[in-house]
Amino acid sequence: EVQLLESGGGLVQPGGSLRLSCAASGFTFSSFAMSWVRQAPGKGLEWVSAMSGSGSSTHYADSVKGRFTISRDNSKNTLYLQMNSLRADDTAVYYCAKGGITSPGMDVWGQGTTVTVSS
């Protein structure tokens, strides 16, 4: 069964850091681009970052550029999102999804992990 399982969310103070992980199973992880998409409470979807299957190409939303870093370990079938200098408006459910900017849609999604930035 194709599956994505996020972890690492939690409560963090403004200015703090957090690293999200997404464990993939059921498909050849290294062959697919992967993305992080977030959804603030009561709001719509926002594409945060994407990375190619090899890890050689990355893209970021302007809202997180310079603060967030996407990475992957294809030997561990795991995608990461390092989030630094967190702000209140980064509060959201963060989803990991299979697919990137040139993929025919993001066809597999994790259940999401909640990040709350508050003092």
Partner 1 sequence: QSALTQPPSASGSPGQSVTISCTGTSSDVGGYNYVSWYQQHPGKAPKLMIYEVSKRPSGVPDRFSGSKSGNTASLTVSGLQAEDEADYYCSSYAGSNNLGVFGTGTKVTVL
Q: Could you say which residues in the range 70-99 bind partner 1, by CB under 8 A?
A: 95, 97
Contact 7, 112 (CB under 8 A): no
- Rounded distance between C-alpha atoms, residue 79 and residue 44, angstroms: 23
Site track 98-117 with partner 1 (rule: CB under 8 A), x = hit: ---xx-xxxx-xxxx-----
Q: Which is nearer to partner 1, 66 or 104 (CB)?
A: 104
Q: Residue 23: name the closest of 34, 1, 7 by CA.
A: 7
Nearer to partner 1, 46 or 77 (CB): 46
Binding mask 34-73 for partner 1 (x = CB under 8 A): ---x------xxxx-xx--------xxxx-----------
Q: How many residues bind partner 1 (CB under 8 A)?
A: 23
Q: Least Å distance between CB 38 and partner 1?
A: 11
Q: Which residues bind partner 1 (CB under 8 A)?
A: 37, 44-47, 49-50, 59-62, 95, 97, 101-102, 104-107, 109-112
